Structure 1
Amino acid sequence: MMDDKQQQVWETYLTQKWFSFGKQGQEPYTRQMILSTDGQITNYGSNNEKFWQVKDDKLQFLDLNHQPTTSFSLPDDPSAMKHFTLIGTYLRNPNVKHQLVAHDAVEALRDVRDDLVQNVTDRFWDAKSPIYPVGRKIKTHSHIRIAFILNSVETLPALMPLIKALQDDAMFELKLLTISRIYNTVNVFDEMQTRSGLEDVLHKNGLNYISVESDFDGALKKMRLWQADFIVRQSQWDNDYPDAFNADRLDWARLIHIPYTITEKMTAPAHLDHGSMLTNDYYLHVWRYFTAEPLFPSEKKAIEQSFVSKDIFQPVGSMKAKMIEQAKPVWPIQHGGKRILWTAHHSVGDSWFRFGTFPEIYKSMLAWTKAHQELSVLFNPHPLLREVIETEKLHGLTVADYDDFLKEFTSLPNAGVLQHTTQYGASAAADVILTDGYSAFYEMQIQRKPIVALLRPGHTPFTPEGKQILRGLHVETNIAHAQQEVLRLLRTPDDKRGNQVAITKAWLANDHPEYAIMQAMRGEMGY
Structure 2
Amino acid sequence: MSKSLLLAGLRTIFPGIVRRYRQHMDGMNELRNQGQSQRIEIEKISAQLHQLQSVLDGVHQSVLHAEGSAKLRGEPWRCLFLVHSVETWTSLHDVWLAMVSDPRFEPVVATIPRQYPGSAILEGEEDTHQGLLHLGVPHLRLTAANAMDDLAFIRRLAPHMIFRQSPWEKDISSAFSAAQLSFTRLYYISYGIAPIVQHVVVMLDTLPLLRRCRKIFVVHETVKKLMPASLPVVVTGHPRVAYLQRAEPSWPIETGNRFKIIWSAHHSTETGWNDFGAFWQIYDTMLALAQFYPDVDFLFSPHPALLTRFNALSGDKKEKIDAFRQSWDTLSNTGLITNGNYAGPFKASDLLIVDGLSFLLEYQLNQKPVLFFERQDHTPFSIIGEEVKKGVHSISPDHTDDLMYWVKYFIAGGIDPLEDDQKKLVELLTTNKNPSAAILNAIADDMASPF
Specify the TM-score bucket, using the shorter chain as the normaliser.
0.7 to 0.9
2:415 aligned partner: 493
- 1:362 equivalent to 2:300? Answer no
1:507: how far off? 2.0
Equivalences for residues 15-26 of structure 1 within 5 A: none
1:126 aligned partner: none
Letter in 2 for 1:269: H
Letter in 2 for 1:162: V
How many angstroms apart in 2 are the aligned matches of 1:137 and 1:404?
A: 60
Equivalences for residues 259-408 of structure 1 within 5 A: 259-264=190-195, 266-269=196-199, 276=202, 278-282=204-208, 283-295=210-222, 299=226, 303-304=228-229, 308-309=230-231, 312-335=232-255, 336-391=257-312, 397-398=317-318, 400-408=319-327
How many angstroms apart in 2 are the aligned matches of 1:392 and 1:410?
A: 19
How many angstroms apart in 1 are the aligned matches of 2:422 and 2:284?
A: 31
How many angstroms apart in 2 are the aligned matches of 1:493 and 1:280?
A: 44
1:499: how far off? 0.9
TM-score for the superposition, normalised by structure 1: 0.67
2:160 aligned partner: 229
How many angstroms apart in 1 are the aligned matches of 2:155 and 2:88?
A: 26
Structure 1 pair 462–471 and aligned structure 2 pair: CA distance change class (3 A): same
1:411 aligned partner: 330
1:198 to 105, 128, 145: 128
Equivalences for residues 82-93 of structure 1 within 5 A: none
How many angstroms apart in 2 are the aligned matches of 1:291 and 1:511?
A: 13
1:156 to 85, 89, 109: 89
1:434: how far off? 0.7
How many angstroms apart in 2 are the aligned matches of 1:175 and 1:483?
A: 48
2:446 aligned partner: 524
Letter in 1 for 2:243: M
1:290: how far off? 0.5
2:150 aligned partner: 219
The CA RMSD measured in Å over matched residues stands at 2.6
SS in 1 for 2:263: strand
- Flag structure 2 segments of 5+ consecutive residues without an equivalent: 1-65
Structure 1 pair 202–401 and aligned structure 2 pair: CA distance change class (3 A): same
1:172 aligned partner: 105
1:59 aligned partner: none
Contact 2:187 2:216 in 1 (8 A): yes
2:6 aligned partner: none
TM-score for the superposition, normalised by structure 2: 0.77
Bigger helix share: 2
How many angstroms apart in 2 are the aligned matches of 1:357 and 1:206?
A: 35
Letter in 2 for 1:202: L
1:228: how far off? 1.7
Contact 1:453 1:475 in 2 (8 A): yes
Letter in 2 for 1:513: P
SS in 2 for 1:505: helix
How many angstroms apart in 2 are the aligned matches of 1:490 and 1:451?
A: 13
1:444 to 360, 363, 379: 363
SS in 2 for 1:225: helix
Letter in 1 for 2:219: A
Equivalences for residues 504-519 of structure 1 within 5 A: 504-519=426-441
1:49 aligned partner: none
How many angstroms apart in 1 are the aligned matches of 2:236 and 2:114?
A: 28
- 1:240 equivalent to 2:156? Answer no
SS in 2 for 1:484: helix
- Flag structure 1 segments of 5+ consecutive residues without an equivalent: 1-130
How many angstroms apart in 1 are the aligned matches of 2:313 and 2:236?
A: 38
Structure 1 pair 277–262 and aligned structure 2 pair: CA distance change class (3 A): farther
2:75 aligned partner: 142
Contact 1:377 1:415 in 2 (8 A): yes
How many angstroms apart in 2 are the aligned matches of 1:151 and 1:175?
A: 14
1:526: how far off? 2.4
How many angstroms apart in 1 are the aligned matches of 2:384 and 2:103?
A: 40
1:204: how far off? 4.5
Question: What do residues 307-327 of structure 1 show as CA deviations (whole Å, max 9, x unaligned)?
Answer: x33xx1111111101111112
Q: Which has the larger radius of gyration?
A: 1
Identity %: 26
Letter in 1 for 2:226: E
Contact 1:340 1:378 in 2 (8 A): yes
How many angstroms apart in 2 are the aligned matches of 1:473 and 1:137?
A: 52
Contact 2:182 2:212 in 1 (8 A): yes
Contact 1:185 1:241 in 2 (8 A): no
2:140 aligned partner: 210
Contact 1:230 1:256 in 2 (8 A): yes
Bigger strand share: 1
Equivalences for residues 248-267 of structure 1 within 5 A: 248-264=179-195, 266-267=196-197
1:497: how far off? 1.2
Structure 1 pair 505–482 and aligned structure 2 pair: CA distance change class (3 A): same
Quick check: 453-462 or 365-374, which moved more? 365-374
Structure 1 pair 431–153 and aligned structure 2 pair: CA distance change class (3 A): same
Contact 1:261 1:439 in 2 (8 A): yes
How many angstroms apart in 2 are the aligned matches of 1:337 and 1:382?
A: 26
SS in 2 for 1:174: strand
2:340 aligned partner: 421
Contact 2:351 2:368 in 1 (8 A): yes
1:298: how far off? 5.9
User: RCO (CA 8 Å, sep 6+): is it higher in 1 or 2?
Assistant: 2
How many corresponding residue pairs?
376
Contact 2:353 2:373 in 1 (8 A): yes
Question: What do residues 243-297 of structure 1 show as CA deviations (whole Å, max 9, x unaligned)?
Answer: 1101111122111111111001x11226xxxx53533423111111100001458
